[in-house]
Amino acid sequence: MTTLTLDLPGAIGAVRAAGTPERTLNPIYRALLVGKTSGSTAEAMDGAVEGAELDLLVRQMTAPAVMVLAVEAGGLAHRVRVGIHADVATVEHSEGPSDGDPGASRWSECALEDLPRLFADVLPDGSALGAPPRLTVQNRPDTLRLDAAQLTHLRELLITGADAETAFSRLDGLDPRLQDALTARGDRASLSLTLHSPDPARLAQPVTIARLWNCGQLGIYRTDTPERPQIEVVAVEPGDVLGTVIPLLEESIRFASGLPPTPGDEDPAGTSGEGARS
């Protein structure tokens, strides 16, 4: 299979130089296009990447479904952007210090049946984030959130200069799990899926789902990108990351193959109503 090592600005420059219409780009890469490369960079990349390597980059950036898994653990950051097609997947993988430049990306292909292992390998060894898949179903009574009085008090404390950890410790009646979730400094993971089609008859607007996890002293916590101003947190079991990845991956392959969602399972990760869909 074709492989390539190239930084993201260079890859975007090559795809632009190839004349790829912007409307065909998956929104993940369309957003990265802004400010990542200039016209002169695109001209410089004209012809620098060609053949199978250029085809790899174009297929990645125009994929109908792109899943992104990013992990921070032990001072290192790992990220994979996976372009899902009907026949094969394309992969952009980068890694580096959590607070530094990830450097050049590695671009490659991956068989669809190997994708669960690819995602599992990104998760840190020995971390609860990487446990075997087990999706925690969210129940409204179990959702952790600040009430109106706590939210007002928190804003007052932050305005007066308190740091976040101190501010949360001063809130009356705060659930210890919520305080743990909001001040956790352990391993973190984020997952997003973006579906798009240049054909508005098939999908009028892109669809995006996003979910975050962090490890605290008392457990693992999940947050969906909020549709409401109030952030809601759910305490989850080990394995919730892969428990979310696997069903979303299956539906992504169906979408890329031109198939409708699985009957009765149009929201496989349980994000509808409680998560983010835009």
* pLDDT at 45 (0 to 100): 55
Residue among 141, 153, 127 at smallest CA distance from 71 = 127
Q: Structure pTM?
A: 0.86
Whether residue 54 contacts residue 107, with contact meaning beta carbons closer than 8 Å, is answered with: no
Largest CA distance in the chain: 63
Pairing of strands 188-195, 207-215: antiparallel
Domain membership of residue 73 (yes or no) is: yes
Note the helical H segments in 91-185: 115-122, 148-159, 164-169, 176-183
Domain membership of residue 158 (yes or no) is: no
| Structure-token match 């079991």, residue found | 237
* pLDDT at 270 (0 to 100): 58
* pLDDT at 147 (0 to 100): 87
Whole domain around residue 109: which residue ranges?
A: 3-33+49-138+184-257
Domain membership of residue 38 (yes or no) is: no
Domain membership of residue 149 (yes or no) is: no
- Give the CA count within 13 Å in the CB-facing half-sphere of 55: 6
Structure tokens, 160: 């007066």
Number of Cβ within a 10 Å radius of residue 2: 15
Distance CA 10, CA 62 (A): 16
Distance CA 212, CA 235 (A): 12
* pLDDT at 160 (0 to 100): 84
Residue among 91, 68, 90 at smallest CA distance from 79 = 68
* pLDDT at 259 (0 to 100): 78
Q: What is the pLDDT along the chain (278 residues), one digit of tens a residue?
A: 899 999 999 999 999 999 999 999 999 999 888 755 555 454 555 558 899 999 999 999 999 999 999 999 999 999 999 999 999 999 999 998 887 777 899 999 999 999 999 999 999 998 999 999 998 887 665 789 888 898 899 889 988 888 778 888 899 999 999 999 988 999 999 999 999 987 877 888 999 999 999 999 999 999 987 666 677 899 999 999 999 999 999 999 999 998 777 665 555 565 543 333 33
Domain membership of residue 235 (yes or no) is: yes
Domain count, the chain: 1
Whether residue 56 contacts residue 90, with contact meaning beta carbons closer than 8 Å, is answered with: yes
Domain membership of residue 238 (yes or no) is: yes
Domain membership of residue 247 (yes or no) is: yes
* pLDDT at 103 (0 to 100): 81
Distance CA 107, CA 93 (A): 7
Domain membership of residue 176 (yes or no) is: no
